[in-house]
Amino acid sequence: MSILVVMSLLMYLMGLMSFCLNRKHLLLMLLSLEFVVVGLFLFLNFYLCLYNWEFYFLMVFLTMSVCEGALGLSLLVLLMRTYGNNYMISFSLLW
């Protein structure tokens, strides 16, 4: 196995672990999701280079990940304006 595959899978698993452990703050959850996306991007890049496929799918993947990041940041700004903090415990669906 290549070092790039091991590094990308390690980044993916560390991002998932960080996402599961940092459930207090929304910003930390968004950062860990972006870390997972970067790990998946590295793995897809290695996989597509290995089989000499087109890199068009990587551009679509990057576009979707940028849209996901922008949507997450806009939700963060909305919640900060509404509640005044980014603690997940203060967001309740019953309010």
Residue-number span of the structural domain to which 80 is assigned: 3-90
Number of domains in the chain: 1
Q: CA-CA distance, 31 to 47, in Å (whole number)? A: 24
Do the domain assignments include residue 80? Answer: yes
23-28 contacts, C-beta under 8 A, 24 or more apart? 23/88, 24/87, 24/88, 24/89, 25/86, 25/87, 25/88, 26/75, 26/76, 26/79, 26/86, 26/87, 26/88, 27/76, 27/86
Do the domain assignments include residue 95? Answer: no
> What pLDDT is attached to residue 75?
86
pTM: 0.80
Do the domain assignments include residue 50? Answer: yes
**CATH code assigned at 46:** 1.10.287.3510
Tens of pLDDT along the chain (95 residues)? 688 889 989 999 999 999 999 878 888 888 999 999 999 999 999 888 888 888 888 899 999 999 998 998 898 888 888 877 777 666 665 55
